[in-house]
Amino acid sequence: MRYIHLNPVRAKIVRKPENYQYSSHRCYTGEEANGLVDVDPVLRHFGGKKKLAREMYKQFVLAGIKLGHRPEFYRADEGRILGSEEFVDATIHRIGETGSARKTRNKRGVTALPRFDAEVLISAVEKVCGLDREEFCSSGKSAVRVMAKEALILVGSKAGASLKVLSEITGMSSSTVSRRHMAASSKMRQRGEMNKLTDTIEEYYREAGN
């Protein structure tokens, strides 16, 4: 919220966020009537008394001016939830991966795979990567194991597996799975070894699933 309200400042439209008339920031600081904005859920984080909460909130926003551009806020991807690791874990545990995330992937032209089957996917990764499941589902961080895990996450996600299920398979936290999915997606865009690996795993997965 602080980042959004500071957009006009970073864009050099105004010097202070409260000077931008199209922002709800002035509602939070009490300089403008609330109108349609429910300010209480945010202000409660800054104090029990509204006057103090408004002042603390204002200081908090101004302190963010020095932070500048935050590229991590623009990296939301399929299944990616922004926030601390604890927040991500709690959110995924509560709602899992939503159906809308899978629909979005399909709209982007991603070829559908057979319905997710954990055993078939694990077997496909074993054959293609030449590793036993105990190896790539362990905490080892060798390049081969990491790539096998990332490929499993990419193909599993494409087949409809939730982050929670992929977390259980790989032995990683849901937030770590989300980060690995993001890293693997970036490698895919570079069209390198990860593309070949996932394509081959998908072939095995399709054959076994049909």
150 and 183 in contact (C-beta within 8 Å)?
Answer: yes
- Asked whether residue 139 falls in the same domain as residue 106, the answer is yes
Asked if the structure places residue 73 within a domain, the reply is no
Q: Which of 5-14, 132-141, 157-166 is predicted most confidently?
A: 5-14
- Asked whether residue 22 falls in the same domain as residue 86, the answer is no
**151-187, pLDDT tens digit by residue?**
999 899 888 888 888 888 888 887 788 888 888 887 7
How far apart are the C-alpha atoms of 96 and 85, rounded to whole Å? Answer: 15
- Asked whether residue 179 falls in the same domain as residue 105, the answer is yes
Asked if the structure places residue 114 within a domain, the reply is yes
Q: Which CATH number characterizes residue 201's domain?
A: 1.10.1750.10
Which ranges in the chain belong to alpha helices (H)? 2-5, 7-10, 25-29, 40-43, 50-63, 85-95, 99-107, 118-129, 133-136, 143-158, 163-170, 174-189, 193-209
**62-93, pLDDT tens digit by residue?**
988 888 777 666 655 445 667 766 676 666 65
Q: Among residues 122, 130, 143, 125, which one has the least CA distance to residue 201?
A: 125
36-47 in b/e burial notation, b at 16+ Cβ within 10 A?
A: eeebeebbeebe
pLDDT above 70 (res 116): yes
Asked if the structure places residue 19 within a domain, the reply is yes
Instruction: Specify the residue for token string 């926003």.
Output: 61
pTM: 0.49
**34-58, pLDDT tens digit by residue?**
778 898 989 998 988 989 999 999 9
Asked if the structure places residue 7 within a domain, the reply is yes
Q: Domains in the chain: how many in total?
A: 2
- Asked whether residue 35 falls in the same domain as residue 96, the answer is no
Task: Give the domain-ending residue among 67, 95, 123.
Answer: 67
Q: Among residues 133, 175, 20, 118, which one has the least CA distance to residue 6?
A: 20
167 and 177 in contact (C-beta within 8 Å)?
Answer: yes
- Asked whether residue 201 falls in the same domain as residue 97, the answer is yes
Range of the structural domain that residue 7 is part of: 2-67
